[in-house]
Structure formats: C-alpha cells, structure tokens
C-alpha cells in the first residue's frame, strides 16, 4: 500500500493528516485520490468507517491550494449533522490554507447563511433543501464556476425516500457549470448506479471495495428473537448488562419513529440511564446540542431515528442496538456502521420479532453474513418485564398529555403546504394507503401462520411415522 505523498498530495497536507492520526491511506483513499487529482469524475463505494470523507476532502484541498478562488467546491449531504461533520474535516485538514467554509442547512437562520454565501467561501457544505431555497430566493451568490460537486451518501440523495431530494437537486444542478468534477461516495452505491452515472458525466472512475461482505469484519453482528411485548425488557436488560460489565461504553439505539424515540428516551431515563435523543421533530439547535453532548460522553446513550443512521463518525460508540429491524438491508448497513469504525471493534444487536424474520433473511443475503444469536438470560428479562411495561405505559400517558402529536401534525401540514400540496387531500391519500398496507400486513401474517402450521403438521406427521416404524420394528424384533 502506498503513502499519501505517492498519491500526489503536498507535504503540508500529509503533515496535516498525520496530526489527525491519518498516516496510511485506506483502500478507498489509495484508489480514489489519484483519480480525482487526475481530474476524473469518481464514484467510490466502500464500507462504513473506511475513510471516504478524507478520500474526497484531501484531493479537493490539494487542488484548491494550487488555484484558490471563490466558491470552489460544493458538498451535498442528506442530513444537517453530517454537513457539520464534513465541514469540520475540511476545516481541520485545510487549516494551513486559511480555508473558508460555509454550512447551509435547514433549521438555521437563512439571512446569516445568505451573507456567508455572498462572502465567497471556498467550500459550501449543504443539505439540498435549504441550498435550493437560497437559490430560489436570492441572486447574491454564484456557483457557476465551482470545480467540484460532491454527493456524500449519494444513493440517499438520489433515491425517493421519505425525504425526496430529487426536485431540490434539479434546482441546484441547474446553476452549476457543466464542466466540473463530480464525486459520489457511499457505502451502498450499487442499487442506484444508473441514476448516479447520469450525474457524473465524464466516464467516472468507479471504485468498489472487493470484499464479499458488506459490513466490516470487526463488527460482531447479533440478533435477539423476541415477542413485541418483551422487546423493551430485553433493551433495558441489555443496557444494564453493558453498564455493569464495561466502564467505558456508549450506545446508539435506533428506532423507527420520532414518537418511539421520545418514549424510549423517557423510559430509559426512568431507569436512570444517561439518555438523550435525536430525531427530526426536534428543534435544530437542540439536535446539535444533544449530539454534542453524546459525542462528549456526557450522555452515554443516544436514541435516534434514521436521521443518525448515515455518516456520523463517533469513535466512542461500541454498541448499536436496532430496536426495530430495519425494513431495508441498506438502512441496516448504515445503522450498524455507526460502530466498528476505522478498524475498531463493535457490536450490533437487532431486536427481531417473529414477523421480522424475513427482513433478517434479506439483510443476511445482502451483507453476505449470518447474524448470530445474542445469548440472554431469559429469566432475568422476565423478572423485569412487568416493571418495564408499566413504565412504558406511564411514559406513553405522559407524552400524550404533551402536545407531541399535535406538533407533529402541524409540522407535517407546514411541510406539505411548502411543497405545494393540499394537506387534507394528502391525509386522505395516506389513510387509504395505510388501509391497504395494514390489509397486506394481515394477509402476510396469515400466510406466515399458515406456512408455520403446515410445517408443524409435516413435522408431526414425520415424527408419527418414525414412531410407527420404530414400534413396528420393535414388534418384529420381539421373539
């Protein structure tokens, strides 16, 4: 493996890397940095925690130092927290250059951002929605001369998930020069390759790590099979166990909704665990403050929705718990990738109910690794079950007495109006969709139950047959 100098980086940059403990290039850096320095578009697909950020930050800084001017590079990323993290990498590595960066994300003051943009920063790191808002509403800055467009978590930016970035991306691409270098990075690029290729125009250099598995070897991947009602008791038991057995630990727990995130946080606090939450219904400043407290280990447990699933680099995280089994293998890969980063060890534990088994199978198929069962003393879990469930109910009642649901509804309506949609019409559509979904779920459950019954029946028959054969044999052998 080569060193950073032989990849074409200047001494000052190599020194800067060393100060951060970045001494030898990781494979994604080894392969992508020279291609980017050559002027090629690049698509880099490498596992979580493998140093993709430096793989694009370093060559951009190198080029910037050779020819510095105005807005030189635009980085787009799906979440606000990630935008801050990427900007920080640029700032730290680009310190000797006197690099000026600017972060454009939602939930922060637009006027201040507009001023910063008009000051011609070298690097702009943005979430697509807010940057598109600035483009629509002002002409005080120009990006017509940028040299680099970078899409970190590129597949997320281009897929049509619950937050759809495609319209905002169109607005942004509309003001960028056609002649530019486009760099796309993610741990899961492969299923959006076609969309990505249409953005990276000049025959992109494509690099993908060769390993068969899609998660890192240092990650111990576990599951616990549990009935829905016992899930929380398992969770409390697991955390208690880690607290008892380890001095230095921090845990991220992923859950599927903001409400569940809120309830779990309240519950864990009732059990005196130092817990803090991160979800999209919180005010932005609170989100940043909570994440900072978790990073500084003031709080050891972070309960988050998928807003924290991608990109966040927090070296102290030793455990990731999936309170719900992710519906998509891709989401699983990113969630568990919050631990076992940059060669460290880590554990992930996924709580699986009987209805999620098919999800686990598709995750295993995608990552080419079998999850192992996590051994638990069931007696201990059952001994706290009633207490845990009573606490949950109390927390639910407490949350109902706040205006959490109401706020959620108002936020949603605001968002829909901003998108030019009719909230009432959308609500009716959603209700119909929910109905279809629940019918489908029931149908699926029925089929699964039927299959299981059939399997049990077949097994019973087999056993009976075996028994009969044995009896027959015994009868024949009798003198």
Ligand X SMILES: Nc1ncnc2c1ncn2[C@@H]1O[C@H](COP(=O)(O)OP(=O)(O)OP(=O)(O)O)[C@@H](O)[C@H]1O
Binding site for ligand X (CB under 6 A): 20, 22, 24-26, 29, 46, 48-54, 187, 311, 313, 337, 341-342
Q: Does 59 participate in binding Mg ion (rule CB under 5 A)?
A: no
Closest CA to 191 of 333, 33, 80: 333
Minimum distance from residue 53 beta carbon to Mg ion (Å): 5
26 binds, among ligand X, Mg ion, none (CB under 5 to 8 A by kind): ligand X
Region at 8 (left for phi over 0; alpha for psi -120 to 50; beta for the rest) = left
> What is the widest separation between alpha-carbon atoms in the chain?
104
- Residue that is written with structure tokens 């598709």 in the block: 362
Question: What phi and psi, each to the nearest 5 degrees, are found at residue 208?
Answer: -135, 135
C-beta separation of 28 from 44 below 8 A: yes
Give the separation between CA 371 and CA 352, rounded to whole angstroms. Answer: 11
- Please identify, using beta-carbon distances, which residue of 188 and 262 lies nearer to Mg ion: 188
**Half-sphere exposure of residue 48: CA atoms within 13 angstroms, side-chain side:** 30
- Please identify, using beta-carbon distances, which residue of 239 and 291 lies nearer to Mg ion: 291
51 binds, among Mg ion, ligand X, none (CB under 5 to 8 A by kind): ligand X
Element at 184 (helix H, strand E): strand 181-186
Total residues contacting Mg ion by CB under 5 A comes to 2
Minimum distance from residue 308 beta carbon to ligand X (Å): 11
CB atoms inside a 10 Å sphere around CB 15 = 11
- Please identify, using beta-carbon distances, which residue of 94 and 311 lies nearer to Mg ion: 311
Give the separation between CA 367 and CA 360, rounded to whole angstroms. Answer: 10
Element at 125 (helix H, strand E): strand 123-126
Stretch that binds Mg ion, among 35-43, 93-101, 167-175, 309-317 (CB under 5 A): 309-317
Minimum distance from residue 470 beta carbon to ligand X (Å): 57
- Please identify, using beta-carbon distances, which residue of 52 and 134 lies nearer to Mg ion: 52
C-beta separation of 264 from 255 below 8 A: yes
Minimum distance from residue 312 beta carbon to ligand X (Å): 7
Given the DSSP bridges, would you call strands 73-76 and 181-186 parallel, antiparallel or unpaired? unpaired
Give the separation between CA 259 and CA 282, rounded to whole angstroms. Answer: 11
Long-range contacts of 450-456 (CB under 8 A, 24+ apart): none
- Please identify, using beta-carbon distances, which residue of 24 and 444 lies nearer to ligand X: 24
231 binds, among Mg ion, ligand X, none (CB under 5 to 8 A by kind): none
Give the separation between CA 34 and CA 4, rounded to whole angstroms. Answer: 10
Give the separation between CA 296 and CA 139, rounded to whole angstroms. Answer: 39
Stretch that binds Mg ion, among 52-60, 63-71, 211-219, 296-304 (CB under 5 A): 52-60
- Please identify, using beta-carbon distances, which residue of 22 and 74 lies nearer to ligand X: 22
Stretch that binds Mg ion, among 51-59, 142-150, 296-304, 342-350 (CB under 5 A): 51-59
- Please identify, using beta-carbon distances, which residue of 14 and 342 lies nearer to ligand X: 342
Q: What is the DSSP letter of 296?
A: T
341 binds, among Mg ion, ligand X, none (CB under 5 to 8 A by kind): ligand X
Minimum distance from residue 32 beta carbon to ligand X (Å): 11
CB atoms inside a 10 Å sphere around CB 183 = 29
Give the separation between CA 177 and CA 120, rounded to whole angstroms. Answer: 16
Residue nearest to Mg ion (CB): 311
Stretch that binds Mg ion, among 204-212, 310-318, 446-454, 467-475 (CB under 5 A): 310-318
Minimum distance from residue 153 beta carbon to ligand X (Å): 7
48 binds, among ligand X, Mg ion, none (CB under 5 to 8 A by kind): ligand X
Please provide the size of the chain in residues: 479
22 binds, among Mg ion, ligand X, none (CB under 5 to 8 A by kind): ligand X
- Please identify, using beta-carbon distances, which residue of 54 and 349 lies nearer to ligand X: 54
Minimum distance from residue 209 beta carbon to ligand X (Å): 10
Stretch that binds Mg ion, among 143-151, 305-313, 345-353, 455-463 (CB under 5 A): 305-313
- Please identify, using beta-carbon distances, which residue of 53 and 113 lies nearer to ligand X: 53
- Please identify, using beta-carbon distances, which residue of 95 and 470 lies nearer to ligand X: 95
Minimum distance from residue 253 beta carbon to ligand X (Å): 18
Strand order in the sheet with 346-352: 275-278, 301-304, 251-254, 319-322, 346-352, 219-225, 372-373
- Sign of the torsion formed by the C-alpha atoms of 361, 365, 370 and 371: negative
- Please identify, using beta-carbon distances, which residue of 77 and 262 lies nearer to ligand X: 77
337 binds, among ligand X, Mg ion, none (CB under 5 to 8 A by kind): ligand X
Closest CA to 27 of 180, 203, 208, 152: 208
Minimum distance from residue 57 beta carbon to ligand X (Å): 8
Return the bridge partners of 303, or none.
Answer: 253, 277
Minimum distance from residue 183 beta carbon to Mg ion (Å): 12
**Half-sphere exposure of residue 370: CA atoms within 13 angstroms, side-chain side:** 2
Q: Which of 25, 94, 121, 311 binds Mg ion (CB under 5 A)?
A: 311
Residues at the site binding Mg ion, with contacts judged by CB under 5 A? 52, 311
């Amino acid at each position: 493996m080569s060193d950073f100098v032989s990849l074409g980086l200047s001494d000052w940059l190599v020194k800067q890397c060393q100060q951060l403990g970045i001494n030898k290039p990781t494979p994604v850096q080894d392969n992508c940095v020279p291609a980017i320095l050559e002027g090629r578009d690049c698509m880099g697909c490498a596992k979580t925690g493998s140093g993709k950020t430096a793989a694009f930050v370093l060559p951009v800084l190198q080029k910037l130092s050779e020819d510095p001017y105005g807005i030189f590079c635009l980085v787009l990323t799906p979440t606000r927290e990630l935008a801050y993290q990427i900007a920080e990498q640029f700032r730290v590595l680009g310190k000797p250059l006197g690099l000026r960066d600017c972060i454009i994300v939602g939930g922060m003051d637009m006027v201040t951002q507009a001023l910063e943009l008009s000051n011609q920063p070298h690097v702009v790191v943005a979430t697509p929605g807010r940057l598109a808002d600035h483009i629509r509403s002002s002409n005080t800055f120009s990006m017509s001369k940028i040299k680099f467009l970078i899409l970190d978590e590129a597949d997320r930016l281009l897929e049509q998930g619950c937050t759809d970035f495609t319209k905002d991306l169109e607005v942004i691409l509309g003001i960028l020069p056609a002649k530019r270098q486009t760099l796309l990075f993610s741990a899961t690029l492969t299923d959006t390759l076609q969309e990505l290729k249409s953005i990276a125009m000049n025959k992109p250099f494509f690099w993908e790590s060769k390993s068969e598995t899609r998660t890192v070897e240092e990650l111990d991947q576990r599951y616990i099979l549990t009935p829905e009602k016992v899930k929380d008791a398992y969770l409390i038991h697991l955390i208690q166990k880690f607290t008892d057995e380890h001095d230095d630990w921090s845990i991220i727990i992923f859950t599927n909704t903001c409400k569940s995130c809120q309830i779990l946080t309240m519950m864990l606090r009732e059990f005196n665990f130092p817990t803090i939450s991160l979800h999209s219904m919180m005010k932005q400043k609170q989100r940043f403050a909570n994440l900072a407290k978790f990073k500084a280990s003031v709080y050891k447990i972070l309960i988050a929705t998928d807003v924290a699933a991608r990109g966040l680099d927090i070296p102290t995280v030793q455990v990731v718990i999936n309170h719900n089994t992710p519906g998509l293998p891709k989401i699983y890969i990113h969630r568990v990738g919050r631990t076992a980063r940059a060669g460290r060890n880590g554990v992930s534990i996924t709580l699986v109910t009987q209805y999620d088994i098919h999800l686990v199978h598709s995750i295993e198929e995608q990552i080419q690794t079998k999850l192992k069962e996590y051994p638990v003393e069931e007696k201990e879990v059952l001994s706290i079950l009633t207490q845990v469930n009573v606490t949950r109910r109390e927390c639910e009642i407490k949350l109902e007495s706040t205006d959490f649901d109401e706020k959620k509804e108002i936020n949603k309506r605001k968002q829909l109006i901003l998108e030019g949609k009719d909230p009432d019409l959308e609500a009716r559509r959603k209700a119909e969709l929910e109905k279809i979904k629940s019918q489908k779920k029931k149908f699926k459950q029925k089929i699964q139950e039927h299959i299981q019954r059939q399997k049990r029946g077949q097994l019973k028959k087999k056993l009976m047959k075996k028994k009969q054969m044995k009896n027959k044999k015994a009868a024949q052998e009798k003198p």
